[in-house]
Amino acid sequence: MRLYEILLEDIWSDISKKWSEEGVPAAAIANVVGEFKRLKAQNIIKNNDIQFWANKPFDDFYEFVASHADIKSKTQVKKEAKKDQIVLRNDDEWYITIPLTEETSCLVGKNTTWCTTSSDPGTLNVFNEYLTQGVTFIYCIRRSDNKKWAISATNRTHIMEFNLEDGKTITQKQFVNQTGLDPVELRREALSKESQMTKYRQIAKAGFEKTGPSRDIQAIRQDVEGEIIKAGAIADAYVYATEYTHRRFLRAEDMIATDPEIAVDYAKDVIRGRFVKAEPTILASEFKDDYLAFLASKGIKI
């Protein structure tokens, strides 16, 4: 890319950030800016000085581009996003859905701090990355007060992750007490929809392989790991290792070793062998036989 083109992209990034801070959805900005670039390349737009738009409101920019082409409005973007989901429940009490695209995740999860709902320029949204790893998200919205909970589930383990709007992780018991919902049944129903999700996982994977991870991903992963350990979120540590990094989460193993049930799953799914530091806890628990049977299947004796 030539220096001039790089500078143009920097300018567009600054303008887009300004509009986003003014409350314009990122999807709408990207759509209109993309159309502007296409029209400029085709010499349809005469006033193509992008600096002109630096201090203009987004609505003016939108009207200008719309006058030159048939583009999607902010309302249309929202309507399309609403289609890309699987609604599990929609009644007077709850709206429970599975988002299938990043845009839908941002729309349904609006006003949360989940890492799958960020639409601000310069921030990382990992929805597609998780989607390619086989994770299914279930967003639960209570009608009475519009409070939101997120469930992360996969068919590779029975362990689920539960998050409040502010991103705080809670236990399954806390989720049940707060919502009165049955997370096991929600997981079963959600995972039964996998055939409807396959196409979306493939699309996300193709896009992710093309663009690659964010250049800031390593720093963000370090932050995520630190937050998991700081919160003492044992289930999150297990899910992070099995669904996100696919390797041992060494910094969290002392913490994981204190929970015999998760420690056994960690030995099976991550270490794939003995979890030595967890054995005193495991062997004194009801999960002893399960652990020993697993080791025996690997030809390991202790």
- The pLDDT tens digits of the residues spanning 71-117 come to 455 555 556 556 789 999 999 999 999 999 888 898 899 889 888 88
Distance CA 287, CA 291 (A): 6
Query: Could you tell me where the beta strands, DSSP code E, fall in the chain?
Result: 85-90, 94-99, 136-142, 148-154, 157-163, 169-170
Same domain for 292 and 197:
no
Same domain for 134 and 61:
no
Residue 214 pLDDT grade (very low, low, confident, very high; cuts 50, 70, 90): very low
Instruction: Give the amino acid at 277.
Output: K
* Residue at 224 is within a domain: yes
Distance CA 63, CA 52 (A): 14
Of 56 and 295, which is predicted with more confidence?
295
Same domain for 101 and 52:
no
- The pLDDT tens digits of the residues spanning 23-34 come to 888 877 888 888
Same domain for 143 and 230:
no
The pLDDT score that the predictor gives to residue 191 is 93
Residue 121 pLDDT grade (very low, low, confident, very high; cuts 50, 70, 90): low
Domain termination residue (choose one: 45, 77, 109): 77
Same domain for 173 and 286:
no
* Residue at 302 is within a domain: no
Average pLDDT for 222-245: 82
- Total domains in the fold of the chain: 3
